[in-house]
Chain A
Amino acid sequence: MRIGCPHCGARDLREFMYRGDSAPERPDPEAVDALERFTTYVYLRDNPAAPHREFWYHSAGCQSWLVVERDTRTHEIRTVRLCQVGT
């Protein structure tokens, strides 16, 4: 598997670290149902057999956090973009 880093180009899997599904969003700790929402945020995943948006960290390269859309059935990488706050 090679991941096309926006800064470095297509690089080998060995250069990256995986941090999992990018979908969960940290809930508001002040919310009345914060406990339930945090349980969902920490533990529950969609885990699809389909295109999956996930965080990869280019640790042995430019050290950027990336959001990679990758098909979990084939490992085909569809899109790679830099991780930005609020996206």
Chain B
Amino acid sequence: MRYSGWALAWNAITGQKNWPTVWRHASPKDAYDVVIIGGGGHGLATAYYLAKEHGINDIAVLEKSWIGSGNAGRNTTIIRSNYLLAGNERFYEWSMKLWEGLEQELNYNTMVSQRGVINIYHSDAQRDAFARRGNSMRLHGAGGKLLDREQTRLLLPYLDFENARFPIHGALMQPRGGTARHDAVVWGYARGADKRGVDIVEDCEVTGFLISKKRVTGVETSRGAIRASKVAVVVAGSSSRLAAMAGLRLPIESHVLQAFVSEGVKPVINHVITFGAGHFYISQSDKGGLVFGGDIDGYNSYAQRGNLPTLEDVCEGGMALMPKIGRVRILRSWGGVVDMSMDGSPIIDMTPIQGLYLSAGWCYGGFKATPASGWCLAHLIARDEPHPAAAAFRLDRFASGRLIDERGAGAQPNLH
């Protein structure tokens, strides 16, 4: 069924009993053309674009739990394309363009809200760095505005401009950035992929790979062996575990990133705002909760929960930027296991094992990449050549020296 005003009216007068299931709960077949491991946003988007753009429909998406149960449901829903380096910015801008048409593309309300992402700067040096990044964004068509102090004050009068330690000098704004509804992105891609014949298999954990002569021939799962000549690993924080099953070591460490949401309050924050003198970012959900986060905890973790020092650090950043949130109570906090790469940038590439593809290293920024990640991985799987927008995301760049180190932090995953 195509969702529309008519469908809404028809189902209203027929008692809401005729809405079809959004996706089938498929049981795995013995063999597929392509198996995608990981039923998060990236995996489902990959399946969707493989079916839609490349005519490959015999696909299974294998998810060990329920779809969207990992980082796709654990992020702060921010979308933006405000990177500096060409290897990144071209890709994230392509993702932004896909976000802008996503609801029409999927016929699904993913609640894309281009409310503007505003990065605050606190010194002349930081202004220069932000101006440089803004120029890079504009060169790549992403847009961007450098705001001075008074322009920033007009938009965000409630910030602590006179803060003695971190005075606000201005901001770099990407008006096209914003937020999207993370679960709806998962469900929308699942629905679109399912409609094109993709089997979405939940409660199906991959336990090993079938490999013959350096060539993948399928996967072992908790629901039996499934043969496929092409297998993609799209599992974020579990990338190293899956790679180990295929005998590979990755330039990745898994870390925990926490996020927080407050009790619901009336509309007070209309943008996505980031603090420039620490790590703190915040937006307000349509339910009214203030959604915010900061740094990763900084030690290897698969625990999906973090510790209090990071919470304190995040809240200190928030209080330095906007003291008015100090009386709001935190409702929930949670952690996601993020795949921190050695240069802070992702990998979409083939592996030394023929037919085995990898999408990993998304660090704490995977959500915004969801559409382009799926688009580019589908292109790679279908054609065995990288999509131009993701051509820099090579697995061998760590050996060749073509790193994409946006932060300039070196091979230190907890610093990116």
Among B70-78, B115-123, B248-256, B279-287, the stretch that binds chain A is: B248-256
Which of B254, B399, B414 counts the most chain A CB atoms within 10 A? B399
Partner of B240, one of A12, A18, A47, A54: A47
B299 near A43 with CB under 8 A, answer: no
Nearest A-chain residue to B309, judged by Cβ: A14
CA gap between A40 and B34 in the complex, in Å: 31
Tell me what chain B mostly uses at the interface: helix, strand, loop, or mixed. Answer: mixed
- How many chain B residues touch A (Cβ–Cβ < 8 Å)? 25
Q: How many contacts A-B (CB < 8 Å)?
A: 68
B303 near A20 with CB under 8 A, answer: no
B299 near A45 with CB under 8 A, answer: no
State whether the Cβ of B302 lies closer than 8 Å to any Cβ in chain A: yes
Nearest CB on A from B363, distance (A): 14
A13-B307, A18-B414, A42-B411 known; A49 vs B302 contact (CB < 8 Å): yes
B253 near A47 with CB under 8 A, answer: yes
Nearest CB on B from A35, distance (A): 8
A72 near B309 with CB under 8 A, answer: no
CA gap between A18 and B244 in the complex, in Å: 24
- Complex interface: chain B residues within 8 A of A36 (CB): 399
Nearest CB on B from A51, distance (A): 11
CA gap between A14 and B299 in the complex, in Å: 12
CA gap between A73 and B302 in the complex, in Å: 5
Nearest A-chain residue to B254, judged by Cβ: A47
State whether the Cβ of B145 lies closer than 8 Å to any Cβ in chain A: no
A75 near B303 with CB under 8 A, answer: yes
A45 near B301 with CB under 8 A, answer: no
CA gap between A47 and B414 in the complex, in Å: 13
A72 near B302 with CB under 8 A, answer: yes
- Complex interface: chain A residues within 8 A of B334 (CB): none
State whether the Cβ of B300 lies closer than 8 Å to any Cβ in chain A: yes
- Within 24-62 of A, Cβ neighbours of B (below 8 Å) are at 36, 39-40, 42-49, 52, 54
CA gap between A14 and B33 in the complex, in Å: 50
- Within 275-324 of B, Cβ neighbours of A (below 8 Å) are at 298-303, 307, 309
B251 near A20 with CB under 8 A, answer: no
- Complex interface: chain A residues within 8 A of B250 (CB): 44-45, 47
State whether the Cβ of A74 lies closer than 8 Å to any Cβ in chain B: yes
- Complex interface: chain A residues within 8 A of B307 (CB): 1, 13, 75
A14-B309, A20-B414 known; A45 vs B253 contact (CB < 8 Å): yes
A14-B309, A18-B298, A49-B241 known; A43 vs B411 contact (CB < 8 Å): yes
- Complex interface: chain A residues within 8 A of B399 (CB): 36, 39, 43
Partner of A72, one of B249, B251, B301: B301
CA gap between A74 and B411 in the complex, in Å: 25
CA gap between A13 and B299 in the complex, in Å: 11
- Complex interface: chain B residues within 8 A of A52 (CB): 300
Nearest CB on A from B387, distance (A): 24
State whether the Cβ of B3 lies closer than 8 Å to any Cβ in chain A: no
CA gap between A40 and B398 in the complex, in Å: 9
A43 near B303 with CB under 8 A, answer: no
State whether the Cβ of B193 lies closer than 8 Å to any Cβ in chain A: no
CA gap between A75 and B307 in the complex, in Å: 10
CA gap between A20 and B254 in the complex, in Å: 11
B309 near A20 with CB under 8 A, answer: no
A73 near B249 with CB under 8 A, answer: no
A75 near B301 with CB under 8 A, answer: yes
- Complex interface: chain A residues within 8 A of B253 (CB): 20-21, 45, 47
Partner of A47, one of B252, B299, B303, B309: B252
State whether the Cβ of B236 lies closer than 8 Å to any Cβ in chain A: no
Nearest CB on A from B222, distance (A): 17
Instruction: Beyond A48-B240, A73-B303, list 8 extra A-B contacts (CB 8 Å).
Output: A1-B307, A12-B309, A13-B307, A20-B413, A21-B253, A39-B398, A43-B342, A45-B240
- Chain B interface residues (CB < 8 Å from chain A): 238, 240-241, 244, 249-254, 298-303, 307, 309, 342, 398-399, 411-414
- Could you write out 29 A-B pairs with CB less than 8 Å apart? A12-B309, A13-B307, A13-B309, A14-B309, A20-B253, A20-B300, A20-B412, A20-B413, A36-B399, A39-B399, A42-B342, A43-B398, A43-B399, A44-B249, A44-B250, A45-B249, A45-B251, A45-B252, A45-B253, A46-B240, A47-B241, A47-B250, A47-B252, A47-B254, A48-B241, A72-B300, A72-B303, A73-B303, A74-B303
- Chain A interface residues (CB < 8 Å from chain B): 1, 12-14, 18, 20-21, 36, 39-40, 42-49, 52, 54, 70, 72-75
